[in-house]
Structure 1
Amino acid sequence: MRDSIGDKVFFGINAALLSLFALSCILPLVHLLALSLSDQSAIASGAVSFWPSGLTAMAYEKLASGTNIVRATLNSFEIMAVGTALNLLFTLLCAYPLSRNLMYGRRFFTLAIVFTMLFSGGMIPGFLLVKSLGLVNTYGALWFPGLVSVYNMLVLRTFFVGIPDELVEAARIDGCGEWRMLLRIFLPLSLPVFVALGLFYGVGHWNAFFNVMLFIHSPDKHNLAVLVQQMIQSQQLMQEIGNLSPEDFTSLTPVSIRSAGVIVMVLPMLVVYPFLQKYFLKGILIGAIKG
């Protein structure tokens, strides 16, 4: 069936709007990349747009040698890896029993969990709770309070509910217990949803900022997001670098260093996302279908 003129106009307008939206997301990153690779004179004259002028990688060299960015990057990876693993484990253990008809009181527990999406204890009670548990200045303060995202748990639970009962009954006839059922039947079938939720959790941990500032007091434990914020908001970075030679001053500016820090922060997610995109799209669509 051929598209009508109205359909072609509609799809053309959609394509144009989506292209503009994509450019509004991509061009700022390209501009920051160009700034991080340009020398001082080009940046000061405003000659840098989306292509570096006076190509130099000194900003990245000074960022690595004069700041705590390597330690902060390792901290970010630790927070993301351990936090995402814990989130996925407990989200799975929460979603599976709530999806089974055999669980007594599952409706009550589901409503009680959904209630937490609407109301929370607040920041001060939350801080006092974390402090009373002895988690202040430890990464446990970042992992345990948000161990299960209610939204993500509901997405996974919805997918589990949609798995045919005939498959579950056949597995039970073959002698599958609950743990084996979860690991051999439900988990492999939910791989796209699981990867999509892992991406959600991972990005959240990688970009963690407020909770790190609230609970983590030691600078050596700060992650990359906090370091980049400090670079943008203050002159602390230039003071940490210090002892620049006259040649460095001619090719290095705070703008280029801060731009390099932002690029270093967003680069891992940009690299990982294309490999997970197919799981991300399929997982969200499958998890949104109610059985």
Structure 2
Amino acid sequence: MRASPGERLFYAVNYILLTLLACSCLFPLLHLLSLSFSSPEAIQTGKVGLWPVEFSLDTYKLLASGTSIVRSFWNSVVITLVGIALSMTATILAAYPLSRQSFYARKTLTLAMIFTMIFSGGLIPTYLTVQALGLVDTYWAIWLPGLVSTYNMLILRTYFEQIPSEIEDAARIDGCGEVRLLVRVLLPISLPVIATLTLFYGVAYWNVFFSMLIYINDSTMQNLSVLVQQMIKNQSALQQSMLVQPDEQAHVVEEGIKSAGIVVLVAPMLIAYPFVQKYFVKGVMIGSVKG
């Protein structure tokens, strides 16, 4: 069926607007990437646009040797990997029983969890609770309060509910118990939604910022988000940490170092996304739309 002139115009306008929107998101990132790979002289003279000028890795070498970015990067990796493992395990263990029709009080428990999406205890009671549990200055203060996302749990619960009951009946006839049914049957065929929720949790833990400022006072435990924010906000602290004295050189180092720090912060998520992108739309749509 051929599109009418009005439909072709509509599609053309949509493509143009979406292209402009994509460029508005891509160009700033390309500019930062170019700054991080350009020479100090090119940055100082303002020659850098969307492509590196006088390609150089000096900025990244200086960033690695003059700041604590390596340690902060490792802290972010630990927070993210352990957080994903804990959150996915808890989310699966919550979603599976709530998806079973035979589970007692499943509706009551589901409504209780949905209630937390609308109302919360507040920042001060949450901090006092974390402090009373002795979790301040530990990463458990980051992992435990947000261990299960109700939104993610509902997606996974709905996905489990949509799996044909014949598959479960066949597994039970073959002698599968609840644990084996979950691990050997349901999880393998739930790979799209599992990958999607892993991405959700990974982005959340990698970019965690506010909780780090509240609960983590030890500077050696700060993650990459906090370090980059401090580098951008406090120029004098950056100059002192880089041990740079001349004003012009400090200016150049600041611009390059900030750009390199932002690139290091966003690069892991940009690299990880293509590996789960093929599951992303399928996982969200099947897990969140019941039909």
Short-chain TM bin: over 0.9
| Structure 2 stretches lacking a partner, 5+ long | none
Of 253-262 and 15-24, more deviation after overlay is shown by 15-24
Equivalent in the alignment of 1:14: 14
Equivalent in the alignment of 2:164: 164
Shift of the 137–250 alpha-carbon distance from structure 1 to 2, 3 Å rule, reads: closer
Equivalent in the alignment of 1:73: 73
Of 197-206 and 53-62, more deviation after overlay is shown by 53-62
Distance in 1 (alpha carbons) for counterparts of 2:238 and 2:281:
39
Do 2:97 and 2:103's aligned partners in 1 also have CA atoms closer than 8 Å? yes
The aligned amino acid for 2:54 is: G
| Structure 1 stretches lacking a partner, 5+ long | none
Per-residue CA deviations over 1:78-133 (Å, capped at 9, x if unaligned) read: 00000011110000000000000110110000000000000000011000000011
Q: Secondary structure at the match of 1:208?
A: coil
Q: Secondary structure at the match of 2:272?
A: helix
Of 11-20 and 235-244, more deviation after overlay is shown by 235-244
Q: Secondary structure at the match of 1:156?
A: helix
Distance in 2 (alpha carbons) for counterparts of 1:172 and 1:146:
34
Of 268-277 and 225-234, more deviation after overlay is shown by 268-277
Q: Secondary structure at the match of 1:120?
A: coil
Shift of the 44–288 alpha-carbon distance from structure 1 to 2, 3 Å rule, reads: same
Do 1:31 and 1:49's aligned partners in 2 also have CA atoms closer than 8 Å? yes
The TM-score, its normalising length taken from structure 1, stands at: 0.95
Distance in 1 (alpha carbons) for counterparts of 2:288 and 2:231:
40
Equivalent in the alignment of 1:4: 4
Per-residue CA deviations over 1:219-278 (Å, capped at 9, x if unaligned) read: 11000000000000002122111056x7x9399420111001000111111111111100
Shift of the 232–176 alpha-carbon distance from structure 1 to 2, 3 Å rule, reads: same
Do 1:39 and 1:251's aligned partners in 2 also have CA atoms closer than 8 Å? no
Name segments (4+ residues, structure 1) moved above 6 Å. none
- Tell me if 1:285 matches 2:285: yes
Distance in 2 (alpha carbons) for counterparts of 1:188 and 1:37:
42
The TM-score, its normalising length taken from structure 2, stands at: 0.95
The aligned amino acid for 1:139 is: Y
Equivalent in the alignment of 2:42: 42
Shift of the 250–114 alpha-carbon distance from structure 1 to 2, 3 Å rule, reads: closer
Q: CA deviation at 1:161?
A: 0.8
The aligned amino acid for 1:118 is: I
Distance in 1 (alpha carbons) for counterparts of 2:287 and 2:16:
29
